[in-house]
Structure 1
Amino acid sequence: MNRGQSFLLLLMGVVALLTLFVILPFAEYVIASAILAFVLYPFHRRLTRRLRRRVSERFGEMLSALTLILSSIVAVILPFAYISWVFVRDLTAIAAGDTAIDVAAIEAEIAALTGQNPEIGDILQTIGQQLVQTLFGGFSGVLTTAIRASVGLSLALFLVYYTLIDGPAFVKWIRATSPLPSAVTADLVDRVNVMTRGVVIGHIVVALLQALVAGLGLWVAGIPNVVFWTFVMAVLALLPLIGAFFVWGPAAAYLVVVDQVTAGVFLAVYGVAVIAMVDNYARPLVIDQQAHLNPAIILLGVFGGIYSVGFTGLFVGPIVIGVLAATLETFREDYDAI
């Protein structure tokens, strides 16, 4: 390696570090925009083919991207923003000690059964405070997080648009620029594609679907702070079979304890007959069987992502681990064969 090549590599390293420093405050939104564009791209490709029959190719791509982004805003982002607002409201209320749960009845029942007098209200308040600290950096960080999320969301929508338009060209550039052999590069890109789709659709989407179905049951049964508990179930539902049960099971028992036996029995039957069936049937139906990631690894990515980058880490963490798994698998198979 001559002096010119060494200087160029050094310059590339310095510029790469400066670039990382610049985008680091919004790194989670950059990754989230890439994930959303990845999910929307198959629809973008189909819609573009239809629009090309009526308008020019470039205008068809632009119109398709704008249509999908507007549809995502109406169908996903606005409902998600509302749910996030309600979640923050409920979480801050729990952290302040206002749980809307009949804590006295629970403590009395536990005392009658065990002779112990646990402070359930204090435990819930501590959990709420810890979540506020982890997700937002404390009560003072809630407003800062909201402002930062608004800016980040605007940035993400622009990135989704340009990723849909220029994404294929970027993938071609990666294939052409990669120092790996072309066969290894193609294998790596395919594995990342399969792994990402398996993680996003097969695990996260199913967990969100199960949490929404379970949250509907909690709402019908009259459980307070439904949005907060739905968020908790969205995380726990990444564990197959038993994840969401850790919320709706105790919720059904709570209703029986506070003399709402009919609602408690309804929630228990609904949990077994409906919530559990979502996991049993939806997960095998949508998971890409080529994406062999242990659910425990997915859960680790969720908790690590939330702790590292906040709320959006729910999606970002598992994707990062999935890409790492795809890279390791490519190295093991392709370089063992070379």
Structure 2
Amino acid sequence: MNRGQSFLLLLIGSVALLTLFIILPFVEYVIASAILAYVLYPFHVRLSRRLRGALSRWLRESLSRPLGNMLSALALILSSIVAVILPLAYISWVFVRDLTDIARGNTDIDVVAIEARIAELTGQEFAVGDVLATVGQTLVNTLFGGVSGIVSTTLRASVGLSLALFLVYYTLLDGPAFVRWIRSTSPLPPDVTADLVDRVDAMTRGVVIGHIVVALLQAVVAGIGLWAAGIPNVVFWTFVMAVFALLPLIGAFFVWGPAAAYLVVVDQMAAGVFLAVYGVLVIAMVDNYARPLVIDQQAHLNPAVILLGVFGGIYSIGVTGLFVGPIVIGVLAATLETFREDYDTI
């Protein structure tokens, strides 16, 4: 390696580190935009093809193609805002509102009934309201740095979401060109590069699409159980479970478990027992059977590896680590498998 090549590699490394430093404050939103664009791209291909066909009746092909791509990307982004971002924003708003109310000692939970039930069962008085207020205040301080931090967190999230939407738009338009650039820039032989890209794509599809499909399926099944048990605001809690169900094993339990316990405590024994049994025998089984079937077979990763990647990713970079953790481990597995097949001559 001559001096020119060494200097160029040093320059590339320095600029890459500087770029990472610049985007680090919004890295979660950058990752989220890449994941959303990956999910939307197959729909973008079909929709843009139909739009180009419709526009070609009035415009030349040279105009209908880029205009069709732009309209398709905009339509899918608007659909994502309605179907994903607005529900998540509403859930987040309700969560923050209720959490701050609990921290202030204001809650719609029937605290008196719970305290009376505990006293009846144990013979001891237990200040449930004080405990809830302490837990709520602790969560507010931990998640947002206090009540005042909620405003700054909201502003940062607004800027991040706006950035993510712009990135999704341009990724849908220029994603194929970026993949072609990676293929042409890779120092590996073309056949090895193509094999590695195909492996990573199949693994990513299994992790991303599989997580989403299983989470939605489990949320719908759990929502039916909540409705049958008489829990109010079933649609809202179903949305919440769709988010929590992205966590393997324990996701949806964060909703239906406390709901069943609450029903038992407030003397709705039959409904509470039904929901608990339904959760163990039906909701949990969806996670135990559907997740390996949908995710593991496509991603070719052991369930334990996926679980490790999910929780490690969340701990490292936040919510988007749900997908990034398993994907990173999957890319490592795909790279090792490619090396074994194409370069391991021992």
Task: State the TM-score, normalizing by the size of structure 2.
Answer: 0.81
Query: Which amino acid in 1 is paired with 2:20?
Result: L
Hey, what does 1:156 align to over in structure 2?
A: 164
CA distance in 2: counterparts of 1:94 and 1:230, whole angstroms:
21
Alignment of 1:283-298 (within 5 A): 283=291, 286-287=294-295, 289-298=297-306
CA distance in 2: counterparts of 1:299 and 1:228, whole angstroms:
24
Indicate yes or no: 2:56 matched with 1:52.
no
Once the two structures are TM-superposed, the CA of residue 322 in structure 1 deviates from its matched residue by: 2.2
Hey, what does 2:197 align to over in structure 1?
A: 189
Question: Structure 1 regions of 5+ residues with no counterpart?
Answer: none
Structure 1's 9 and 33: CA in aligned 2 closer, same or farther, altered over 3 A? same
Checking the alignment, whether the CA contact within 8 Å between 1:221 and 1:263 is kept in structure 2 is: yes
Helix, strand or coil at the partner of 1:72: helix
CA distance in 2: counterparts of 1:225 and 1:94, whole angstroms:
21
Say which of 321, 327, 335 aligns to 1:331: 335
Hey, what does 1:74 align to over in structure 2?
A: 82
Checking the alignment, whether the CA contact within 8 Å between 2:245 and 2:252 is kept in structure 1 is: yes
Alignment of 1:146-295 (within 5 A): 146-211=154-219, 214=222, 217-218=225-226, 221-222=230-231, 231=240, 234-235=243-244, 238-240=247-249, 243-245=251-253, 247-261=255-269, 263-265=271-273, 267-268=275-276, 271=279, 275-276=283-284, 278-279=286-287, 283=291, 286-287=294-295, 289-295=297-303
Once the two structures are TM-superposed, the CA of residue 135 in structure 1 deviates from its matched residue by: 3.4
Query: Which amino acid in 1 is paired with 2:339?
Result: Y
Structure 1's 87 and 297: CA in aligned 2 closer, same or farther, altered over 3 A? farther
Hey, what does 2:91 align to over in structure 1?
A: 83
Alignment of 1:312-327 (within 5 A): 313-314=318-319, 316-327=320-331
Deviates more, 1:210-219 or 1:69-78: 210-219
Once the two structures are TM-superposed, the CA of residue 2 in structure 1 deviates from its matched residue by: 1.4
Q: How many residues are aligned here? A: 333
Once the two structures are TM-superposed, the CA of residue 243 in structure 1 deviates from its matched residue by: 4.8
CA distance in 1: counterparts of 2:245 and 2:82, whole angstroms:
27
CA distance in 1: counterparts of 2:203 and 2:189, whole angstroms:
21
Once the two structures are TM-superposed, the CA of residue 196 in structure 1 deviates from its matched residue by: 2.1
Hey, what does 1:31 align to over in structure 2?
A: 31
CA distance in 2: counterparts of 1:121 and 1:292, whole angstroms:
48
Hey, what does 1:2 align to over in structure 2?
A: 2
Checking the alignment, whether the CA contact within 8 Å between 1:101 and 1:224 is kept in structure 2 is: no
Checking the alignment, whether the CA contact within 8 Å between 1:135 and 1:306 is kept in structure 2 is: no
Helix, strand or coil at the partner of 1:290: helix
Checking the alignment, whether the CA contact within 8 Å between 1:110 and 1:116 is kept in structure 2 is: yes
Checking the alignment, whether the CA contact within 8 Å between 1:90 and 1:227 is kept in structure 2 is: no
Once the two structures are TM-superposed, the CA of residue 118 in structure 1 deviates from its matched residue by: 5.8
Once the two structures are TM-superposed, the CA of residue 208 in structure 1 deviates from its matched residue by: 4.6
Helix, strand or coil at the partner of 1:238: coil
Higher-Rg structure is: 2
Query: Which amino acid in 2 is paired with 1:187?
Result: D
Checking the alignment, whether the CA contact within 8 Å between 2:101 and 2:107 is kept in structure 1 is: yes
Identical columns (%): 73
Helix, strand or coil at the partner of 1:289: helix
1:53-100 CA distance string (max 9 Å, x none): 233222211111111111212222222222221122122223444343
Hey, what does 2:151 align to over in structure 1?
A: 143
Deviates more, 1:129-138 or 1:46-55: 129-138
